[in-house]
Amino acid sequence: MLGENVGVLQQLFSPSVQHTLDLIGIFVFAISGALLAVRKNFDVFGIAMLAEVTALGGGVFRDLVIGAVPPAAFTDLGYFLTPLLAALLVVFLHPQVERIQTGVNVFDAAGLGLFCVTGTTKAYDYGLNLTASAALGLATAVGGGVLRDVLANEVPSLLRWDRDLYAVPAIVGATMVVLCIHYDVLTPLASGVAAVTAFVLRLLAMRFHWRAPRAWNRRSTVREEQSPAPSRHG
Amino acid sequence: MLGENVGVLQQLFSPSVQHTLDLIGIFVFAISGALLAVRKNFDVFGIAMLAEVTALGGGVFRDLVIGAVPPAAFTDLGYFLTPLLAALLVVFLHPQVERIQTGVNVFDAAGLGLFCVTGTTKAYDYGLNLTASAALGLATAVGGGVLRDVLANEVPSLLRWDRDLYAVPAIVGATMVVLCIHYDVLTPLASGVAAVTAFVLRLLAMRFHWRAPRAWNRRSTVREEQSPAPSRHG
Amino acid sequence: MLGENVGVLQQLFSPSVQHTLDLIGIFVFAISGALLAVRKNFDVFGIAMLAEVTALGGGVFRDLVIGAVPPAAFTDLGYFLTPLLAALLVVFLHPQVERIQTGVNVFDAAGLGLFCVTGTTKAYDYGLNLTASAALGLATAVGGGVLRDVLANEVPSLLRWDRDLYAVPAIVGATMVVLCIHYDVLTPLASGVAAVTAFVLRLLAMRFHWRAPRAWNRRSTVREEQSPAPSRHG
């Protein structure tokens, strides 16, 4: 299994470029985790842990599913230290970081685009079928954020109707990658295009507040649904 | 390890029957996940994801524990698509689906009975001891529902004292399977009997509102315990 | 991979001693899970399950990450039965157990010290680097408690600023182990010293209510931050 790992993923980018992009994605995801931890009033260790989980959770889940153990997050020191750096920045500069929230969101969108592409590619390199690879690419991109919200005891913003589209851009990016693989045209360029497409879609979703519909005829009942009651007696 | 997989499980049912039963169980679990997502007012993608997690979560956990990677949920396209179909149905027909909630509960009970049997058998096929196999059978049957409630930010209904028995029927079914294995009498018939027993026990629990006791002398304090306060200061 | 398992860990303690210490740690962690389940008013099966998850969750996560499948929790009957015994005790004696909460906390501190050492050592035996080994040792020690709080739908007390230091003692213990490994002086004695150090640090943290700082200039805003509002709109 591990042998197959020399494959599509390697050809995509030169390792150094790939690695740098990974670290950037990890860094910005860690920032979002650390900022939520600050809002939840966690202590510095809680902030560091939420940063780690948010940045690495999606990739660890992907690696466990494809059998790539130990996950990259536990073999590459840079993957482990980058979230700590992000947490440190947030601990001392969170007012400034929150002020540049837009900037953070742009980086987060970049991480989303990158991870859905590399996650899909790595899953395929480990022998999963195209659909499963795309699903794992999505899980890689959004998994960390879901873990972040679960640990913060909040409903994952990924699932909430009142959040701008987040999953869709990742789904589009992952789908483009598997289509390229299917038609055997997955070049570094094609992968870049897929990542940029997901990135831009997420930016547009934030800019124009694109949202996904809810279930048929929910609109009328939204207020009552949002009341705390359900989660109380859940 | 994988080699052992040709074993008890294969003999249980013809693959096609086994596969069909699996898909039915996955479908009904997905329905329960999608319905909760609608109640929580998630968007259509949140509904689809909660349906996937509810339907496949228990099996993925089992497969990760026994080392069956990638998990079946990521290798069988039907396992992946069935929850999407369930989500689609719920998105457009949830008032009708909720109206036939009883019907859904009956199917859910069927899924519970089936999964505790197949989960236990597969774990044993992968070399786990009888107790661990039964425990994983239980985890396969209830794991998805627990993940569903955690992602919906609710206390898992599996754990709540004010819910009809859910774990017990699965424990009984899983125990029957390991006893059959121990006495070397695990025939398809015996497995069917175990699944039906768990199924019927769950139906009876719902019909007569069987509930498990709580810790000694809790009754007096239940009201105060149910107040939101604890979860607030958790 | 598995082959390497005959290694540092074996030399640490005689298997029987090691095993006994493990069971003690599992027992006390299970007690903490069962007590929370009682406070949350779960039924007896919910209490048993929360006890199992709290006691075994950290180790299962570690074993999945290092590829030690099936995890020890599923191969050693004692690991599985001990939490059930703890749950049984709590179900019938929880008023008394709560009365000796301090005693429980002392045992929990002992489990923390032990697990951070054995978790780190086992991770290193499976070929992880020193930093990753220490991180997994920390995860082994605190993972079960985090799962416990997530299943109870509470903010993990590990992350809360208003809790006495819990992660830090485990970090110190795990760090001491990796330093000993690095300088090739990891004797049973050294491991014992690391475990005792973590144990004592945790006791001191509880005794003197040591707490970690929060993010810069949070103090002023703590009250508003603690209001339920955030988790409502999370």
Residues 6+ apart with CB under 8 A from C41: B160, B161, B214, B218, B222, B225, B226
Low-confidence ranges of chain C (pLDDT < 70): 1-15, 217-234
Closest CA to B112 of B79, B89, B145: B145
Count CB neighbours of A193 within 10 A: 16
Sort residue B156 into left (φ over 0), alpha (ψ -120 to 50) or beta: beta
Q: Nearest-CA distance from C204 to chain A in Å?
A: 18
Beta bridge partners of C214: A43
**pLDDT for A174:** 96
Contact: B150, C150; criterion CB under 8 Å: yes
Mutate to test the interface with A, among C160, C161, C164 (most CBs of A within 10 A): C161
Q: Tell me the C-alpha distance between C34 and C39, whole Å.
A: 9
**pLDDT for C107:** 79
Nearest to B214 among C44, C77, C228 (CB): C44
Nearest to A40 among C65, C155, C217 (CB): C155
Closest CA to B152 of C41, A149, A32: A149
User: Residues 56-75, chain B: which have Cβ within 8 Å of A?
Assistant: 60, 64, 69-71, 74-75
Nearest to B46 among A160, A217, A226 (CB): A160
Mutate to test the interface with C, among A38, A39, A40 (most CBs of C within 10 A): A40
Mean pLDDT of all residues in B189-196: 93
Q: Tell me the C-alpha distance between C131 and A177, whole Å.
A: 34
**pLDDT for B9:** 61
Mutate to test the interface with A, among C1, C214, C219, C221 (most CBs of A within 10 A): C214
Beta bridge partners of C42: B160
**pLDDT for C58:** 95
pLDDT digits (tens, 9 = 90+) for A166-215: 999 999 999 999 999 999 998 889 999 999 999 999 999 999 999 888 88
Yes or no: say if C122 and C62 are a contact pair by the CB < 8 Å rule.
Answer: yes
Contact: B80, A226; criterion CB under 8 Å: no
B223 touches chain A (CB under 8 A): no
Give the residue with greater pLDDT, C208 vs A106: C208
**pLDDT for A105:** 83
Distance of CA C234 to the CA centre of its chain: 28
Q: Nearest-CA distance from C119 to chain B in Å?
A: 18
The one-letter amino acid code at B182 reads H
**pLDDT for B215:** 81
Count CB neighbours of A7 within 10 A: 15
Mean pLDDT score of chain A, rounded to an integer?
85
**b/e burial code for range A148-159 (CB count within 10 A of at least 16 → b):** bbbbbbbbbbbb
Kindly tell me if the per-residue pLDDT of B225 is higher than 60: no
Banded pLDDT at A73 (limits 50, 70, 90) = very high
Kindly tell me if the per-residue pLDDT of B125 is higher than 80: yes
User: If you search the block for the tokens 């199992």, which residue do you land on?
Assistant: C52
pLDDT digits (tens, 9 = 90+) for A30-41: 998 999 999 888
Q: Nearest-CA distance from B141 to chain C in Å?
A: 14
Beta bridge partners of C43: B214
Chain C touching partners, 3 or more CB pairs below 8 A:
A, B
Return the structure tokens found at C28: 């006390």
Yes or no: say if C158 and C170 are a contact pair by the CB < 8 Å rule.
Answer: no
Kindly tell me if the per-residue pLDDT of A111 is higher than 80: yes
User: Residues 156-215, chain C: which have Cβ within 8 Å of A?
Assistant: 156, 158-161, 167-168, 171, 211-215
Return the structure tokens found at B210: 């069987």
Geometric angle at alpha carbon C207, from C206 and C213, rounded to 5° = 55
Yes or no: say if A153 and C231 are a contact pair by the CB < 8 Å rule.
Answer: yes
Banded pLDDT at B4 (limits 50, 70, 90) = very low
Contact: C151, B159; criterion CB under 8 Å: yes
The one-letter amino acid code at C192 reads G
Mean pLDDT of all residues in A138-143: 94
Q: Tell me the C-alpha distance between B168 and B227, whole Å.
A: 27
pLDDT digits (tens, 9 = 90+) for C40-86: 889 999 999 999 999 999 999 999 999 998 999 999 999 999 999 99
Contact: B154, A234; criterion CB under 8 Å: yes
A86-A92-A93-A97 Cα dihedral, nearest 10 degrees: 40
**pLDDT for C12:** 58
Closest CA to B195 of B21, B8, B15, B5: B21
**pLDDT for C234:** 31
Mean pLDDT of all residues in B167-196: 94
**pLDDT for C55:** 95
Q: Tell me the C-alpha distance between A208 and A195, whole Å.
A: 20
Q: Does the N-terminal peptide bond of residue B228 adopt cis geometry, omega within 30 degrees of 0?
A: no
Q: Tell me the C-alpha distance between A103 and A125, whole Å.
A: 33
Return the structure tokens found at C10: 């074996």
Q: Which of A46-55, A216-225, B155-164, C38-47 has the lowest mean pLDDT?
A: A216-225
Q: Does the N-terminal peptide bond of residue B188 adopt cis geometry, omega within 30 degrees of 0?
A: no
Contact: C218, A41; criterion CB under 8 Å: yes
Give the residue with greater pLDDT, A107 vs C190: C190
Q: Tell me the C-alpha distance between A76 and A46, whole Å.
A: 22
Mean pLDDT of all residues in B206-234: 60
Mean pLDDT of all residues in A101-123: 87
Kindly tell me if the per-residue pLDDT of B203 is higher than 90: yes
Mutate to test the interface with A, among B39, B40, B88, B160 (most CBs of A within 10 A): B40
Yes or no: say if C133 and C123 are a contact pair by the CB < 8 Å rule.
Answer: yes
B218 touches chain C (CB under 8 A): yes
pLDDT digits (tens, 9 = 90+) for B47-103: 999 999 999 999 999 999 999 989 999 999 999 999 999 999 999 988 877 777 777
Q: In chain B, what percentage of residues exceed pLDDT 70? A: 86
Spell out which residues of chain B touch residue C38, defining contact as CB-CB under 8 Å. 214-215, 218
